[in-house]
Chain A
Amino acid sequence: MRIGVLAVQGAFVEHERILTKLGAECVQLRKNSDLRQEFDGLVLPGGESTVQGKLLKELSMFEELREKIVQGLPVLATCAGLILLAETLEHSSECWFRTLPVTIRRNAYGRQLGSFSAQGRILGLPDQERLFPLEFIRAPYIAAIGKRLNNDKVQPIAQIAKMPDGSEGQNIVGVRYQNQIGLAFHPELTKDYRCHQLFLSLC
């Protein structure tokens, strides 16, 4: 199995390391000609979404990758990757793929001082009752989830009790919609490979 990993900026090596350990082959996507290789799944890693979004367009990968996602290519998107997939961003007119019907607030927990770690259950993982380590680094917040005309709903797969304003409440930090997995945290920074296993099972 071959996975295309967006490699224009961010923590893509961390994803590759895990995917390789799980037996997948990775190809780095840095420019348009890299898209000529065949791949069965796509990883959009953590990093800075503004940089990645800009380079996706300027290095001529945006349209083709978007088309692949729309056609059903499985995607694992973490943090900045989730922002790239989102249909709407709060306080911003700029959006990228818009293939995942969610509304995202960027840097929802504030600056680096607001970064935190937690644990949670993630639906659909192997051994799903076992808690998964969740790392939130200047993380985005899934403010709302929508649905499309075909009635295929966005499924929340991970929640935590901490809201951006510090109050109690169920905060969605991971979703699944058709072929797309969008996570506000960073499974690539942990030694728990189950999110990547779930992703590979879709590819």
Chain B
Amino acid sequence: MSTENRWELNKALAQMLKGGVIMDVTTPEQAKIAEDAGACAVMALERIPADIRAAGGVSRMSDPKMIKGIQEAVSIPVMAKCRIGHFAEAQILEAIEIDYIDESEVLSPADDVYHIDKTAFQVPFVCGAKDLGEALRRISEGASMIRTKGEPGTGDVVQAVRHMRIMNSEISRLVSLRKDQLFQAAKELMVSYELVKYVHENGKLPVVNFAAGGVATPADAALMMQLGAEGVFVGSGIFKSGNPSKRANAIVKAVANYKDAKLIAELSEDLGEAMVGINEQEIELLMAERGK
């Protein structure tokens, strides 16, 4: 099958995930809880970002056996993370037929210069981006879905908000340019003219764009959706909270009705303890700075 056709099919899967919540899970039991709570996909990983952050050290792709256990437990798509630039980890994930690979800054980068050539794969990739240039560079490498980087494992939504706002304003700027200014814009963004032209004409990325990093409450999810996210990743926010099942379900419903403040007020009641969280100023390791 041609690369172009494969990319279209992979982009389409991301379209089917829109309006949904993708949840980090570390065991088949958690995956089942997530599916029952209404997750549209799960991200299988050994440790959730908050624990990766706490543990320090090198963080790698998860054990394929653990991922397979999760694949067997649920009928929804299963995603998994590989390190930035670690195409061998990506090959392993493709070999076990993962539905989506997240080339993720949450893990320790394996290559500090090059990202994976994602066009060499049949399986789809989602990548993090904190601005339009990063997003378009990942797309030109073959990513078929984008998410904000945010700052994973912090329970602090401020950086996801910042990244989404930067993306939106840069898109608006491209739309407002004259056609003869697009060549220079492509140079500045370090991406191809064709991608810049697409954004100029369509006012959006050519692939789906989700929010990720620091989403911990139904209100956080609604905020990101109102800022233009097409769906939400929730990492540590669910299984680091007091009542994962209830919180997960509340976030799912908040995303489906993100403009209905009355409903979200009800959903936000009695959710138990939210994840503790770390403020931006207290963070020692900025994962969002990995992979530009």
A residues in contact (CB < 8 Å) with B: 7-14, 30-31, 46-48, 50-51, 54-55, 58-59, 79-80, 106-107, 110-113, 115-117, 135, 137-138, 186, 189
Contacts and interface: CB of A to CB of B under 8 A. Distances in A.
A48 B256 contact: no
Nearest to B231: A9
B1 A138 contact: no
A135 B77 CA distance: 17
A186 B77 CA distance: 18
Given A10-B16, A111-B98, A112-B13, A55 B40 contact: no
B38 interface: yes
A146 B43 CA distance: 38
A89 to B, nearest CB: 10
A42 to B, nearest CB: 17
A80 B20 CA distance: 14
Nearest to B97: A111
B278 interface: no
B257 interface: yes
A112 B20 contact: no
A47 B9 contact: no
Given A50-B35, A117-B5, A138-B99, A31 B257 contact: yes
A115 to B, nearest CB: 5
Contacts of A115: 9-10, 12-13
B17 interface: yes
A8 B263 CA distance: 14
Contact of A117 (B9, B122, B253, B257): B9
B263 A111 contact: no
Interface of B: 1, 5, 8-10, 12-13, 15-20, 35, 38-41, 71, 75-78, 94, 97-100, 122-124, 249, 252-253, 255-257, 260, 263
A11 to B, nearest CB: 5
A31 B263 contact: yes
29 contacts: A10-B16, A10-B18, A12-B19, A14-B15, A47-B16, A47-B40, A48-B41, A48-B76, A50-B75, A50-B76, A55-B252, A55-B256, A106-B75, A111-B99, A112-B10, A112-B97, A112-B123, A112-B124, A113-B94, A113-B122, A115-B12, A116-B1, A117-B5, A117-B8, A117-B9, A135-B9, A138-B13, A138-B77, A189-B15
Contact of A10 (B1, B20, B41, B122): B20
A55 B21 CA distance: 13
B13 A137 contact: yes
A131 to B, nearest CB: 16
Contacts of A50: 35, 38, 75-76
Query: A55, A79, A107, A112: which has the most chain B beta carbons within 10 Å?
Result: A112
Contact of B9 (A10, A12, A116): A116
A11 B91 CA distance: 29
In order of increasing CB-CB distance, the 10 nearest A-B pairs are A112-B99, A9-B19, A48-B40, A8-B256, A111-B97, A11-B15, A115-B9, A9-B20, A137-B12, A51-B40
Contacts of A14: 15
A113 B97 contact: yes
Contacts of B97: 110-113
A30 B18 contact: no
Contacts of A55: 38, 252-253, 256
Contacts of B19: 7-10, 12, 47
B76 to A, nearest CB: 6
A47 B257 contact: no
B102 to A, nearest CB: 13
Contacts of B256: 7-9, 30, 55, 59
Contacts of B35: 50
B120 to A, nearest CB: 14
Contacts of A7: 19, 256
B285 to A, nearest CB: 32
Nearest to B39: A51
A9 B122 contact: no
Given A47-B18, A112-B10, 10 more contacts: A10-B18, A10-B20, A31-B260, A48-B40, A51-B76, A55-B256, A115-B10, A115-B13, A135-B8, A186-B12
B98 to A, nearest CB: 7
Nearest to A13: B18
A87 to B, nearest CB: 19
A25 to B, nearest CB: 19
